Every structure is written in structure tokens, then in C-alpha cells.
Amino acid sequence: MKAALRLTRCGPWVSVQDRGRPGYQRYGISESGAMDPVSLVIANRLAGNGPGEACLEVGGPGLTMTPEGDEATVAVAGPAPRVWLDGGEITGNRGFRLAPGRTFRVAPSPSSAFVYLAAHGGFELSPMFDSLSFHARSGIGGTGEGALGEGAVLPVKGPAGPELALAEHPPIAPAKIAILKGPQFDHLEPGSWEALLETSWKIGARSDRMGVRLEGPVLKHTDKGYNIVSDGIALGSVQLPGDGKPIVLAADRQTTGGYPKIAVIARADMPHFAQLPAGTFVRFREVTLEAAIGLLKTRAQRIARLKIGPVGRGLDSESLLSVNLIGGVIRG
Amino acid sequence: MTGPRFLTVGDCALSVEFGDTVDPTTNARVLALDKALGTDLPEGVIELVPTYRALMIHFDPLTTSLAALRKTVEQMVVKTGADDALGRLWRVPVGYGGDLGIDLADLAARHGLTEEQVVEIHANATYRVYMIGFAPGFCYLGGLPEALHTPRRIEPRLVTPAGTVSIGGAQAAVTSVPVPSGWHLIGRTPLKTFDPDGDPVFLFHPGDQVRFERISAGDWHTLSGRVERGEFRPTPEDDA
């Protein structure tokens, strides 16, 4: 008998996500995918999966689940995952081999937005448009039955596997998020660019997987105004609507839009930005295109060198195995 | 014909912009480049998103470079020009007004027209599908006669039904899934412009032509039932 995970408590910010569905934006279908694709890859590696397997993306207040049918191996990853196994708290990026009936609760710490839960072998679900990522607004992806909730059962493909742990600290967020001038930078008053860089922005409470709202000073448009003929939108674009309150367009962003995109977050820093919970503060620093690509290369190398070993063996180098995590980290 | 503008969009995308207006020639150049690049995607290119006046190229900067990509596009633009061939012509049945188009009466009053006149003007134009965006299969149509240009509603509606035929500013649209909208809803088509289980999944392509044909509310319900049961599949006209 195969294992399945039964969700016994499920917060509103829990969804199935993989690396998204590029290729369909031309048909109006959003890319979606993990808000923090680096943690998604780490969760998958800790579960013994390929890097792009679908995981449960878990935002606050978290998720409680129980394996059914057979043993299952799951792994959690994120900047600061919190796990309670039958009520006892265990921290760290690591795998858990769970007998049926155990109670497993996972949530991000208050300092981060998401934790990823991978199951060894992945989830037995049918992709829509080449991906399992759930897009709330269109209802595409996931289990095919809309948003996850209490009582949902997710069948697991694989048998139980070994328990692995990340044997070093997960990637650390930079003090400032790298940002580039955007394609409609000329719609922004020069003084407002300074304000963008000098402000400590608060992550707005109305943020979601589609857009992250920045609360701070109102930025001003030049006389070119705030309406443009709609064009495409890259991940991390900072859109400035008529009210002058910037919105960072995230994984579930619409495919096209008619507001000026005054800046774009460097792709390497986008997972760190996406991990900022509502109510926390963020600062930006301007980087050149070359510097942004340099950050992306460094990130790929760091991830490739992450050390993973069996749970409980400590961090001695003999028990560690270095795994190649480069593949597919760029996207998203 | 002047060359396009190249706009760097962060470190993973390049926008090739052919203009900043909504017109068929600009859009035709976008679609020509989209077709040429899409036939054999250059290494490192993840996807192409054609819009009214620009082609967005999403790419992986660790596989290709902005400079290499720009060079490829520059060479290709010289060859492709504009895709002047008109797309397929679709005749789209629409039930206008009443429950199917709750804003028709108001829109007619704004313009000092009768509902009948609005329908006549709307159904006598040929529209161009400029792009698909915003929601799955949502198509933006150009070619709305000026007499029907109407500013968007002040209060957007949170949900509008799939198949809604609407007017927003100088644009017309056919919606594909229930979406929030500030546009004026003048009618509905029983056709599904987006059907995840259908073949084709997406009815319209950018560059296609659309004409609306009035049907009665009774015919709308009959046809809607046939579409739901899979008994009716629209086909484009050959000689478009």
C-alpha cells in the first residue's frame, strides 16, 4: 500500500508548487511556481528527489498532516522551518521518516514566509500545462480541485527513503535586496528613485503570491504618467500604479500589465525577498546587470556545494555528500 | 521601417519594443518576430510573450547573454518585417443585453444611442486579436468603432462571467474565465475561448480576426447547452 498525506489542519497559504509552468504566458496563463525556488530544491534534495519535484509550499500559520497507508519520508526546507512531531519541536532543514498515524506539523518561523515540504518520490498528481503548481486565481494546477484545505489527501509516489539533513546553514538573506532599473524607469521622477533606494520599506499585509506590496513614501511618476500600452511582465518587476504605491510582482503575477515597471529585483535575490513576511522591513541597493548575473552565478555555485548527510551523523565531513543542485535553480 | 527598441527587463528578460501605440502594423511586427524566434527557440530562451507592441523574451542568463540574444534578434528583425497575413476569421455568436449583457442599456444611454444601435455598431466591425493576457485565454481586441469608446467603470466588479463580451476604453474583449473587471458588459457568447479539456485549448490566437453575430437569448441557451455537451465546436472561416 502506498503512503498518502492527510491534511488535518491547513492554513490559507498552503499550496502545491514546483518550478512553475513557463511557456504558457503567451496564452494568459501565469508562471506560478515556488516563491522561494532555492528552498524548494533543497527540500527535494533532502527528500531524495530531483530538484523540480512538486512540494507543499507552507506559509503561516502552517500545516498539520498525518501519513496514511504506509511509511512516508518527508523533508522540510526554508530559512527557518519549525516542525512539531507528535507535539515535540524539532528544528532544521531535514528529512523525517514517518510511520502512519504520526502527527506532523510544519510552519515557517515568524522571520520567514515559507517552508517547503517534499515527499520522497513526489506527489501522485496530474500536471496541468506541464506543471503541478497551483495558481489560485485561475484554479489551475495542484490537486485539480481548487485550494487545499482540511481533509485533503495527497498520495505519495515513492516508498519511504533515508532521512537526510542539510549539514550547514541554509542560504542567508543579504542585508539589502539587489535591484535594477526597470524597462519604464523613465516614468519615475529622479527623486523617487533615490527614495526607493533610501527607504526602509514595510512589506504590506495585503501581499500574496501575485504581488508583494511595499509600504512607504508615495513615489511619483514623471509627466509620462502611469498608463502604458500593456506589455509583458518579468518576475520581480516593481510596478508603480497610479497611487504611487509600488507592488513587486511575484510568482502568480498576471502575464501582462499596463502600469510602468520602474525597477526589477535581481533574480538571485528574489527568493530572499519572497521570504520576507508581512510587517517586516526591506531595503534595496542598485546593482548593474553584470553584478546581478554575478550574484546568480555565485548562488548557483553555493547551492552546488551545499552539504547533505544522513540525519544524526553530525557534521563530520566523511558522512557528508555534496550533491549537484545547480540544475534549474535559475528559473523562478 | 525603424528598428525596435531593446529594453533590459531585469537580468532574465529582454523586451523588444516596436512602438508604443495600439495599431495593427506594430502588432504584426511583434507577431512576425515571435513566429520567427519561436520556430527554433535560441539557446537559453525560456519563453516568448507577444503583446500589443512588444515581444518579451524570458531567458536564462547563465546559458545565454543579453548581448548574444540582442544580436540574434537584430539579425532576425531585418528578415522578418511585419506578419501582414491576417489570421483566421472567427464568427462569434453573442447574446446582447438583458441578463447576458447587464451594462448594455447604461452604455447606450451614455452615448445617446438605443441598445439596438449599439449592437448594430458593435456587430458590424471586424476586430483584431492583439494579444492574450491577464487571465487564461483572455483576448484583447482592437477595432472597436469610436462611437462605442467608453471609459472604464469607476467601481470594478469582483466577478464577471466567462464568455463576457465587454468594452473598456477603446478596447473590446471576450473573457474566458470568471475575472474581476471594470469594463462594460454588453453581452455573452456561449463559446469557450479557453477550455482546459478541449481541443483546441485556446480558441483564438494573436493576429486572428473576430466578428460578432447577434443571437437571441433563447438561441444563446440552446447553443450554450450544445457547447457544454461537446456537440458544437466553432471553426474559423477558410478565406480569412
Ordered by where they begin, the domains of chain B are 5-80 (3.30.1360.40), 89-228 (2.40.100.10)
The better pLDDT of the pair B75, B1 is held by B75
Rg, Å, chain A Cα set: 20
CB hemisphere CA count around B238 (13 angstroms)? 0
Q: What pLDDT is recorded for position A316?
A: 41
The distance of B221 to chain A (nearest Cα, Å) reads 25
The distance of A235 to chain B (nearest Cα, Å) reads 9
So where are chain A's domains? 4-166, 177-291
Contact A25 B47 (CB under 8 A): yes
Q: What is the DSSP letter of A154?
A: E
Contact A297 B62 (CB under 8 A): yes
CA–CA dist A31, A131 (Å, integer): 9
- Give the tens place of pLDDT for each residue, A59-83: 989 999 999 999 999 999 999 999 9
Q: What pLDDT is recorded for position B238?
A: 62
Residue B48 at interface with chain A, using a CB cutoff of 8 Å: yes
Question: Which of A19, A24, A25, A26 would best serve as a mutation to test chain B binding (most B beta carbons within 10 A)?
Answer: A26
Q: What is the DSSP letter of B40?
A: T
Contact A183 B11 (CB under 8 A): no
- Give the tens place of pLDDT for each residue, B128-161: 999 999 899 999 999 999 999 998 887 888 889 9
Question: Which of B49, B134, B177, B192 would best serve as a mutation to test chain A binding (most A beta carbons within 10 A)?
Answer: B49
Residue B51 at interface with chain A, using a CB cutoff of 8 Å: yes
CA–CA dist B52, A285 (Å, integer): 32
Q: Is residue A261 within 8 Å of residue B15, measured between CB atoms?
A: no
**B200 phi and psi, to 5 degrees?**
-80, 160
Residues ≥6 apart with Cβ < 8 Å to A104: A64, A65, A66, A67, A74, A83, A84, A85, A96, A98
CA–CA dist B67, B101 (Å, integer): 50
pLDDT at B43 over 60: yes
Sign of the dihedral defined by the CA atoms of residues A294, A296, A300, A303, in that order: positive
Question: What pLDDT band is residue A121 in, cutting at 50, 70 and 90?
Answer: very high
Contact B10 A234 (CB under 8 A): yes
Q: What pLDDT is recorded for position B1?
A: 64
Contact A256 B133 (CB under 8 A): yes
Question: What pLDDT band is residue A324 in, cutting at 50, 70 and 90?
Answer: very low
Residue B121 at interface with chain A, using a CB cutoff of 8 Å: no
The distance of B216 to chain A (nearest Cα, Å) reads 30
- How large is the average pLDDT for residues A44-63? 96
Chain B residue closest to A299 (CA)? Answer: B62
Give the start-end residues of each E strand in B133-207. 139-142, 157-160, 164-168, 171-174, 179-181, 184-188
- How large is the average pLDDT for residues A183-189? 96
Q: How long is chain A?
A: 332
Question: What pLDDT band is residue B123 in, cutting at 50, 70 and 90?
Answer: very high
pLDDT at A152 over 70: yes
CA–CA dist A326, A329 (Å, integer): 6
Peptide bond into A61 cis (omega under 30): yes
Angle between helices B24-39 and B66-80 (to 10 degrees): 120
ipTM: 0.92
Smallest CA-to-CA distance from A300 within A49, A75, A37, A119 is with: A37
The distance of B77 to chain A (nearest Cα, Å) reads 19
Residue B204 at interface with chain A, using a CB cutoff of 8 Å: no
Q: What pLDDT is recorded for position A269?
A: 98
CA–CA dist A212, A205 (Å, integer): 9
Residue B198 at interface with chain A, using a CB cutoff of 8 Å: no
Contact B22 A229 (CB under 8 A): yes
- Give the tens place of pLDDT for each residue, B63-86: 999 999 999 999 999 888 777 677
pLDDT at A236 over 50: yes
Question: How would you label A12-44 residue by residue, b for 16+ Cβ within 10 Å and e otherwise?
Answer: ebbbbbbbbbbbbbbbbbbbbbbbbbbbbbbbb
Q: Is residue A4 within 8 Å of residue A153, measured between CB atoms?
A: yes
Question: Which of A230, A270, A298 would best serve as a mutation to test chain B binding (most B beta carbons within 10 A)?
Answer: A230
Question: Which of A134, A184, A253, A255 would best serve as a mutation to test chain B binding (most B beta carbons within 10 A)?
Answer: A255
Contact A23 B46 (CB under 8 A): yes
C-alpha cell at position A41: 530544491
Percent of chain A with pLDDT over 70: 94
Instruction: Quote the pTM value.
Output: 0.92
CA A175 to chain centre: 19
Q: What pLDDT is recorded for position A323?
A: 41
Helix (H, G, I), strand (E, B) or coil at B221: helix
Percent of chain B with pLDDT over 90: 78
Contact B9 A183 (CB under 8 A): yes
- How large is the average pLDDT for residues A93-118? 96
- How large is the average pLDDT for residues B21-47? 94
Q: What pLDDT is recorded for position A306?
A: 87
Average pLDDT, chain A: 92
pLDDT at A322 over 50: no
Helix (H, G, I), strand (E, B) or coil at A99: coil
Residue B145 at interface with chain A, using a CB cutoff of 8 Å: no
Q: Is residue B69 within 8 Å of residue B13, measured between CB atoms?
A: no
Contact B11 A237 (CB under 8 A): no
Residue B176 at interface with chain A, using a CB cutoff of 8 Å: yes
The distance of B56 to chain A (nearest Cα, Å) reads 6
Q: How far is CA A25 from CA A32, A250, B81, in A?
A: 10, 14, 24
Which positions in chain A have a beta carbon within 8 angstroms of at least one beta carbon in chain B?
A: 22-29, 128, 137-138, 140, 180, 182-183, 228-237, 254-256, 261, 264-268, 289, 292-293, 296-297, 300, 330-331
Chain B residue closest to A25 (CA)? Answer: B49
Q: How far is CA A209 from CA A216, A282, A303, B10, B61, in A?
A: 20, 17, 24, 19, 24
Question: For residue B140, which residues of chain A lie inside 8 Å, CB to CB?
Answer: 230
pLDDT at A313 over 80: no
Residue B59 at interface with chain A, using a CB cutoff of 8 Å: no
Contact B9 A292 (CB under 8 A): no
Chain A residue closest to B48 (CA)? Answer: A26
Question: For residue A264, which residues of chain B lie inside 8 Å, CB to CB?
Answer: 9-11, 13
CATH class of A177-291: mainly beta
Question: For residue B8, which residues of chain A lie inside 8 Å, CB to CB?
Answer: 180, 183, 289
Residue B69 at interface with chain A, using a CB cutoff of 8 Å: no
CA dihedral A62, A67, A72, A76 (to 10 degrees): 10
